[in-house]
Chain A
Amino acid sequence: MSLRYMAKELYYQRRRTLMSILGLSIGIALLIVLNSLSLAYRQAAHVPLKEIGADITVQRSGDVPKELAGPVFPCSAVTIRKEEVEKIQKLPGVRGIGTGLLLWVFDPNRAWIVLGIEKENSIGPSLLRSSVTEGRFLEDGKPEALVEQAYARQFGIKVGDTISVAGKKFPVVGFVDASRAAKIAVANVYLPLKEAEDLAASSKELQSVSPYAPGDVNLLFIKADQEKITGLASEMKGILGEKATVATPDSFLKLLGSLFALSDKFTLAASLIAIIVAVLIAFKTMAGNIAERAREIGVLKAVGWTNRNVVSQLMSESVIQCFMAGILGLLIALVASFGLSFMKVNIPIPWEMSPTPHFLPGGGDQIFKTLRLPVHVPWNLAFFAIFLSIIIGGVTGGLLGRHISKIKPSEVLRHE
């Protein structure tokens, strides 16, 4: 193989070199962009759960009491027993659990959505600690309340006021901005878990449809090994029964509905098509180029180049062209990904995960988590694309080189 010959061939035959490079680079760029986009949707689908520090959320649907008075469970989140929580905690792949108790409280002149939260836990609604906008977070063992900022403004509640929830008084110690926090399990009032448990345990209406004992919860936030999430989801359904609602990043991905979000199979199929198109373009362009050089190959063989010499020369030219196409394709993909990263995506949060009574203002509205699509080209994908380009170059050059090297010099050098 002569590097000098290769460089001159590529340089002086700029037009055909550029055609080969451009053709393949479009295929490579397509491959990278499709995969980056698919990855971005996957990452976006993680966001609603990530914001609450979890990989999986678990609820169980049930019945609502006939009469809505005092504390009741929303129909999408009824009792999950303490023993069931312990079983889930022991499942291999579960790294941690956060709990919550969501109640609808119907007082004579006001309805509250109340969430009982753990004081300290990096998983679940305790993360609200970072969303306190005024006052302070809940302290251990004290019957006190945090009020959602917009709700407080609407009803003129101030820090230091005392609110009455199901007949029990709670001093308001702070406000939280729910719009900055997760969109899952959003409430008007946040109480220490123990206080919410007492409210639930003492509610006859609630006990009549969903027997409850302190220690039970109705929201589970689970941190899990990424590769075990799908398996864990079905095991949890096995523990909690048919009425369990298990939300995972995949279930959010399905809600997104985009072709890229629908399945890995679509991305795989689209990537394969992109690669096949890229290979065909490279093959066709290079086959044309090499056919034009039949006479030149005849000269090489006449002056003493072996078939192997010819093949390695053509292969090196092809590898370099495809490598350059890979680099160009990567650059195109980087620019395209940058452009696509300005796209916004609305992830619908199912009503069941943040239930609001339908008869309250805005109760039936669809909640969305809106974010910029996090499109970027990961290094491993970039390296794979370059590596693939080189392989395409090697295979294309090798096959075409082997074919053309069989040419008989006497056939192509016979003068006119």
Chain B
Amino acid sequence: MSKSTILSGTGLSKKYGDLEVVKGVSLTVNEGEFVCLVGKSGCGKTTLLSLLSGLEKPTKGKVSLDGREITSSSEDELSLFRRDNVGFIFQSFNLIPTLSAWENVALPLFPIKMTNEERRRRATELLGKMELGHRIEHLPSALSGGEKQRVAIARALVNHPKIIFADEPTGNLDSSTGEAIMGILNRLHREEGVAILMVTHEDELAKTANRLIRMKDGEIVS
């Protein structure tokens, strides 16, 4: 693994019963790189993302994140590792409906010992960068789809991750809002230097990435 490699998956397979969803996949993502994983629905992209981010364990193969082999880590070790190194953006936003925008952003910080003022300061700063400074006290139900996804992006950034995993981040948005979200992700990648591994089934969106990996039937085809 080269020094600039932040994420590495080697010979990854995932089986659910007899069904092999990911078949011996190997890939790497370098520091600050924006990689897009494209393919049709059901080709195994999301499962591969789950394996690489430590949300799920592979049936075979190994994953190294920031130089640490995580495949054999316990669930709690993986949680702590994700808290310190990884950010997530989901297609359906996955915001907590009872928490305000800034509290959703600060969610990864709740178990960490720090003052509430500090949590709020960090969350508010990020929401400001997402042009949501005026919406910090709003509940998710009072936000539009684009605003919800921007809150989710801020949440992914609050712990200063080395890599962000984005699973169809524009899948639930109209095209113009989707473009705006992609603009934010590109800006993050450019300005913050954070690595991004994004899953999408839209080739058009993937064009903005540094590298494109195409999947078909659980295998990387190009």
Partners in one complex: yes
Binding site for B on A (CB under 8 A): 2, 4-5, 8-9, 11-13, 295-296, 298-309, 408-410, 413-416
Most chain A beta carbons < 10 A, residue from B80, B82, B100, B111: B111
Question: Bound state CA distance, A12 and B141, in angstroms?
Answer: 12
Q: Are A303 and B90 in contact (CB under 8 A)?
A: no
Binding site for A on B (CB under 8 A): 46-47, 50, 55-56, 75-76, 79-80, 82-84, 88, 90-92, 94, 96-100, 103, 107-108, 110-111, 116, 139, 155, 159, 167-168, 171
Q: Are A304 and B97 in contact (CB under 8 A)?
A: no
Q: With A303-B83, A305-B111 in contact, do A408 and B96 touch (Cβ < 8 Å)? A: no
Q: Are A410 and B50 in contact (CB under 8 A)?
A: yes
Specify the chain A residue showing the minimal Cβ separation from B76.
A306
Q: What residues on B are CB-neighbors of A12 within 8 Å?
A: 97-98, 139
**B149 nearest CB across to chain A (Å):** 13
Q: With A5-B110, A8-B103, A13-B98 in contact, do A413 and B55 touch (Cβ < 8 Å)? A: yes
Q: What residues on B are CB-neighbors of A408 within 8 Å?
A: 55-56
Q: What residues on B are CB-neighbors of A295 within 8 Å?
A: 94
Q: Are B110 and A301 in contact (CB under 8 A)?
A: no
Specify the chain B residue showing the minimal Cβ separation from A406.
B75
Q: Are B82 and A303 in contact (CB under 8 A)?
A: yes
Question: Bound state CA distance, A408 and B75, in angstroms?
Answer: 9
Contact of A304 among B46, B79, B91, B139 (CB under 8 A): B79
Specify the chain A residue showing the minimal Cβ separation from B86.
A304
Q: What residues on A are CB-neighbors of B171 within 8 Å?
A: 415
Q: Are A307 and B168 in contact (CB under 8 A)?
A: no
Q: Are A299 and B116 in contact (CB under 8 A)?
A: no
Question: Bound state CA distance, A296 and B93, in angstroms?
Answer: 11
Question: Bound state CA distance, A307 and B79, in angstroms?
Answer: 9
Question: Bound state CA distance, A383 and B107, in angstroms?
Answer: 36
Q: What residues on A are CB-neighbors of B116 within 8 Å?
A: 4
Q: What residues on A are CB-neighbors of B88 within 8 Å?
A: 302-303
**A383 nearest CB across to chain B (Å):** 32
Q: Are B108 and A303 in contact (CB under 8 A)?
A: yes
30 contacts between A and B (CB under 8 A): A2-B110, A4-B103, A4-B116, A5-B96, A8-B100, A12-B139, A13-B98, A296-B96, A298-B94, A299-B107, A301-B79, A302-B55, A302-B82, A302-B88, A304-B79, A304-B82, A304-B108, A305-B110, A306-B79, A306-B111, A307-B79, A308-B76, A309-B110, A309-B111, A408-B55, A410-B50, A410-B55, A413-B55, A413-B90, A415-B168
Q: What residues on A are CB-neighbors of B55 within 8 Å?
A: 302, 408-410, 413
Q: What residues on A are CB-neighbors of B107 within 8 Å?
A: 299-300, 303
Q: Are A415 and B82 in contact (CB under 8 A)?
A: no
**A291 nearest CB across to chain B (Å):** 16
Question: Bound state CA distance, A301 and B108, in angstroms?
Answer: 9
Question: Bound state CA distance, A304 and B92, in angstroms?
Answer: 19
Question: Bound state CA distance, A304 and B156, in angstroms?
Answer: 11
User: What would 6 more interface pairs be, CB under 8 Å, given A304-B83, A307-B75, A408-B56?
Assistant: A5-B103, A5-B110, A8-B99, A296-B96, A304-B80, A307-B79
Q: Are A415 and B98 in contact (CB under 8 A)?
A: no
* Ranked 5 nearest A-B pairs via Cβ: A304-B83, A12-B98, A410-B56, A410-B55, A303-B108
Question: Bound state CA distance, A2 and B98, in angstroms?
Answer: 13
**B58 nearest CB across to chain A (Å):** 12
Specify the chain A residue showing the minimal Cβ separation from B171.
A415
Contact of A415 among B91, B96, B111 (CB under 8 A): B91
Q: Are B80 and A306 in contact (CB under 8 A)?
A: yes
Specify the chain B residue showing the minimal Cβ separation from A2.
B110
Question: Bound state CA distance, A258 and B91, in angstroms?
Answer: 65
